[in-house]
Homo-oligomer: A and B are copies of this chain.
C-alpha cells in the first residue's frame, strides 16, 4: 500500500553539528514521492502526457524531528497516501533510522494543477486513474 525509498546519509547532507540539515528531509520527501509515482506509472512526465496536468505543487508541508540522523546512517523514507480531496491529496512520510527508529514524521499536501490562461496554472480535479495508481 505504501512505498519506501532508501538512502544513506551523505557528507553534504549534514551540518556542523554532524546531524542532517533539516531542509534535506523535505528533499527526500519530494524524491520519495517522485520515485513512488514513477513506480506506479504516474510520474510528472506521465501525468502530463496522460492527463494534461502540469504537476503536483505543494500546498502544505511539515515535519517533526524525533531522533537525530547522522552522516553514514542508512535511512528509509516510507510514504503513504493519507487522504484524497477533489483537487489535492495528503501524503504521510516516516523516516526510519537503523531499521526501526522513527527519526522524522512529515507530510505533504499536493495540489493537482492544469494549464491556466497565458501560461499560468490553476487547480484541477484529480483523475480517478491517478488515485487508483497510488492506491
Contact = CB atoms under 8 A, between A and B. Distances in A.
Prevailing SS type, chain A contact patch: mixed
Contact of A27 (B23, B30, B65): B23
Nearest to A63: B61
A19 interface: yes
A116 to B, nearest CB: 11
Contacts of A27: 10, 12, 23
Contacts of A17: 16, 54-55, 57, 121
Contacts of A57: 17, 19, 65, 68
A34 to B, nearest CB: 5
A10 B23 contact: no
Interface string A29-68: 0110011001000011100000000110111111111001
A14 interface: yes
A130 interface: no
B12 A21 contact: yes
A131 B43 CA distance: 40
